[in-house]
């Protein structure tokens, strides 16, 4: 069984031993691949540029990802460059391939450096890969700058907000912490997630409440049919509206006393309660209590 480190050393050795290509050889191989789909030409072209992949992958080693994976992703970018390369433009293949190799490695780093997805915009991506370098440059050869002044200069250089720089700096300052990690080295077994506070109801409670709410609405609409027009009108403005009209205002509108409005409302509520219980004998389903 070949170990990853041994395989990587062999790959690096093979890349370093691959012969350099002249401009004419490079163009010839690119033409053969583009026009004839000559896989031998593709292999020679990409093998000669694997040292470029290894060199670019080494620039991202401080992100803590396996070097072999970085090189493999760079190779994917190299193959993408070979597929898109236009020999007639008279540009060296290495110049063209550098962008694709770097882009492939950067995308891999963004997807795997943290379980939290980042770098979704071009500004965020530039900030992610350049924050450490710019911070080191600005602090070089003197007293460290205050954070806010440092963040302001970095934000101006990259074209993002100071808040974005502050958030990215905090994110890069520490690794991800697992919610299943123990809080203390003891036998309690307590994990970080055990101390997360959630005020929202559980999903089964939300679903149950939605189902019960729809069922109560159906029962209520059916029960309201037992009321007279005046009873329904009074209950609608008194109990079924958000504002809840007063007895006086309803009495003035209907031309009756507020005491008469109260009597009609009481009778309507009793009729409505009887109709609901006839439909569903379980009193607790409507919040009537156990009596």
Clarify whether residues 215 and 122 are in a common domain: no
Clarify whether residues 105 and 139 are in a common domain: no
How far, rounded to the nearest angstrom, does the alpha carbon of residue 264 sit from its chain's CA centroid? 56
Compare 209 and 106 and report the one with higher pLDDT. Answer: 106
Clarify whether residues 105 and 213 are in a common domain: no
What CATH number corresponds to the domain at position 242? Answer: 1.10.10.10
Residue at a domain's end among 43, 78, 113: 113
Compare 27 and 142 and report the one with higher pLDDT. Answer: 27
**Taking the C-alpha atoms of 91, 97, 98 and 101 in order, what is their torsion angle to the nearest 10 degrees?**
170
Residue 104 · residue 77 · CB < 8 Å: yes
Q: Is the pLDDT confidence value at 107 over 80?
A: yes
Compute and round to an integer the Cα radius of gyration of the chain: 36
Percent of the chain with pLDDT over 90: 26
Clarify whether residues 16 and 96 are in a common domain: yes
Could you tell me the pLDDT band of residue 209, with boundaries at 50, 70 and 90?
confident
What gap in Å lies between CA 17 and CA 22, rounded to an integer?
A: 16
Compare 70 and 112 and report the one with higher pLDDT. Answer: 70
Clarify whether residues 12 and 103 are in a common domain: yes
Compare 127 and 41 and report the one with higher pLDDT. Answer: 41
Residue 281 · residue 290 · CB < 8 Å: no
- Model confidence pLDDT, tens digit, residues 273-288: 888 888 777 656 555 5
Clarify whether residues 141 and 229 are in a common domain: no
- Model confidence pLDDT, tens digit, residues 151-171: 888 888 888 888 888 877 777
89 lies in a domain? yes
Clarify whether residues 212 and 153 are in a common domain: no
Could you tell me the pLDDT band of residue 290, with boundaries at 50, 70 and 90?
very low
**Taking the C-alpha atoms of 162, 164, 170 and 175 in order, what is their torsion angle to the nearest 10 degrees?**
-160
196 lies in a domain? no
Q: What is the mean pLDDT of residues 195-215?
A: 79
210 lies in a domain? yes
187 lies in a domain? no
Clarify whether residues 81 and 163 are in a common domain: no
| Prediction pTM value | 0.54
Q: State the pLDDT at residue 291.
A: 44
180 lies in a domain? no
Q: Is the pLDDT confidence value at 289 over 70?
A: no
Percent of the chain with pLDDT over 70: 87
Total tally of structural domains belonging to the chain = 3
What gap in Å lies between CA 220 and CA 215, rounded to an integer?
A: 9
The beta-carbon contacts of 167-174 under 8 Å, at least 24 apart in sequence, are 168/118, 168/124, 168/127, 168/128, 168/131, 169/131, 169/135, 171/114, 171/116, 171/118, 172/128, 172/131, 172/132
Q: State the pLDDT at residue 284.
A: 62
Alpha helices per DSSP H over the chain? 4-17, 23-36, 39-47, 50-58, 67-84, 93-112, 122-138, 147-158, 162-172, 203-223, 229-238, 247-254, 258-279
Q: Which residues neighbour 278 within 8 Å (Cβ) at sequence distance 6 or greater?
A: none
183 lies in a domain? no
Q: Is the pLDDT confidence value at 141 over 90?
A: no
Clarify whether residues 85 and 135 are in a common domain: no
Burial level of 57, CB count in 10 A (0-12/13-18/19+)? Answer: buried
- Model confidence pLDDT, tens digit, residues 28-52: 999 999 999 999 999 999 999 999 9
Range of the domain at 59: 1-113
Clarify whether residues 167 and 231 are in a common domain: no
Q: CA angle, 246 as apex, 240 and 252 as ends, to 5°?
A: 115
260 lies in a domain? yes
Q: Which residues of 11-26 are buried (b: 16+ CB within 10 A; e: fewer)?
A: bbeebeeeeebeeeeb
Q: Which residues neighbour 196 within 8 Å (Cβ) at sequence distance 6 or greater?
A: 179
Clarify whether residues 148 and 163 are in a common domain: yes
21 lies in a domain? yes
Clarify whether residues 8 and 92 are in a common domain: yes
What CATH number corresponds to the domain at position 80? Answer: 1.20.120.1810
- Model confidence pLDDT, tens digit, residues 55-94: 999 999 888 889 999 999 999 999 999 999 998 888 999 9
Residue 247's alpha-carbon distances to 174, 230, 232, 236, 265, in angstroms, are 64, 14, 15, 13, 10
Q: State the pLDDT at residue 221.
A: 83
């Amino acid at each position: 069984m070949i170990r990853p480190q041994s395989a990587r050393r062999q790959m690096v050795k093979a890349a370093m031993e691959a012969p350099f290509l002249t401009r004419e050889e490079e163009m010839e191989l690119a033409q053969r691949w583009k026009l004839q789909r000559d896989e031998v030409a593709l292999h020679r072209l990409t093998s000669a540029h694997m040292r470029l992949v290894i060199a670019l992958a080494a620039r991202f080693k401080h992100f803590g990802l396996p070097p072999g994976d970085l090189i493999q992703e760079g190779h994917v970018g190299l193959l993408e460059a070979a597929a898109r390369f236009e020999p007639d433009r008279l540009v060296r293949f290495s110049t063209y391939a550098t962008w694709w190799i770097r882009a492939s490695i950067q995308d891999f780093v963004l997807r795997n450096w943290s379980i939290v997805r980042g770098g979704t915009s071009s500004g965020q991506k530039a900030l992610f890969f350049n924050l450490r370098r710019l911070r080191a440059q600005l602090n070089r050869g003197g007293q460290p700058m205050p954070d806010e002044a440092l963040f302001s200069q970095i934000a101006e250089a990259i074209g993002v907000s100071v808040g974005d720089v502050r958030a990215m700096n905090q994110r890069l300052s520490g690794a991800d912490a697992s919610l299943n990690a123990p809080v203390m080295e003891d036998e309690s077994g307590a994990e970080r997630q055990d101390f997360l506070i959630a005020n929202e109801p559980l999903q089964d409670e939300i679903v149950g409440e939605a189902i019960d709410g729809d069922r109560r609405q159906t029962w209520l609409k059916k029960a309201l049919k037992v009321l007279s027009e005046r009873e329904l009108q009074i209950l609608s403005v008194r109990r079924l509206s958000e504002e809840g009209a007063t007895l006086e205002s309803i009495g003035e509108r209907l031309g009756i006393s507020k005491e008469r409005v109260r009597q009609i409302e009481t009778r309507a509520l009793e009729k409505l309660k009887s109709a609901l219980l006839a439909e569903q004998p379980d009193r607790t389903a409507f919040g009537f209590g156990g009596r």
